[in-house]
Amino acid sequence: MNMEIIRTDSKNSDFLKLIKLLDDDLNGRYGELQKQFDKHNKVDCINDVIVIYKDKLPAACGGFKEYASDTIELKRIFVAKDSRRQGLSKLVIKELEELARKKGYRHAVLETGKKQFEAINLYKNAGYSEIQNYGPYIGNNNSICMKKELY
C-alpha cells in the first residue's frame, strides 16, 4: 500500500468529497435528528486539515479549529468504508494532535454522537475522556463530548 499524508485546509476538494461521505453516513444513522448538528459541521473556519491518500485515492481525513486560546476542537474525522480497520483514523488523530502541539495548543476537545460506537471507542483508545457537554452541545442527549491533554 502506498500512503501519503498531506496537511491542507477545508477548501481541499478531496477533503470536501470525504466529508460528503461522512454526512451521508451520519444522515443514514440519525435521519432527521442529524439536521440539528449540520450548523456545527460547517468547515469554512477549519484551516488545519489532514487528508490521507491510499494508492493516490483519498481515504481518510480530519481537521481542527480553535475552540479556546489553548484548546482545539477536532472536527470531521472520517475514513472511507473501503479503508477502514487499517489504523487510518488513529493516524489522522495523531497527525492532528501533533500539528496542534506545534501550534502551542494544550488541550483537544471533540463531540461525537451516541450511535457512533466505533468513534467513541477510537477516541477512548486515543486517550480522550468523557466530559460535560460543552458549547452548542450542552443539554443535547445525543452528544458525547470528550477531552484530552496534549502535553
Torsion sign, CA atoms 145, 44, 11, 97: negative
Query: For the chain, what is the mean pLDDT?
Result: 90
User: What whole-number percentage of the chain has pLDDT above 90?
Assistant: 73
Q: How many domains does the chain have?
A: 1
Encoded amino acid at 147, one letter: K
Torsions phi, psi for 143 (to 5 deg): -100, 145
pLDDT level of residue 140 (50, 70, 90 thresholds):
confident
Sequence length of the chain is: 151
- In the three-class reduction of DSSP (H, G, I as helix; E, B as strand; rest coil), residue 78 is classed as strand
Cβ-proximal residues to 57 (8 Å cutoff; 6+ apart), any chain:
none
pLDDT tens-digit profile of 59-108? 999 999 999 999 999 999 999 999 999 999 999 999 999 999 999 999 99
Identify each DSSP E strand in the chain by its residue range. Answer: 3-8, 48-54, 57-68, 71-79, 107-113, 129-131, 143-149
All cell numbers assigned to 118: 466505533
pLDDT given for residue 42 in this prediction: 59
Q: Identify the CATH number of the domain in which residue 101 sits.
A: 3.40.630.30
pLDDT tens-digit profile of 19-63? 999 888 777 766 665 565 555 555 567 899 999 999 999 999 999
pLDDT given for residue 63 in this prediction: 96
Q: Which domain holds residue 124?
A: 3-149
All cell numbers assigned to 124: 477512548
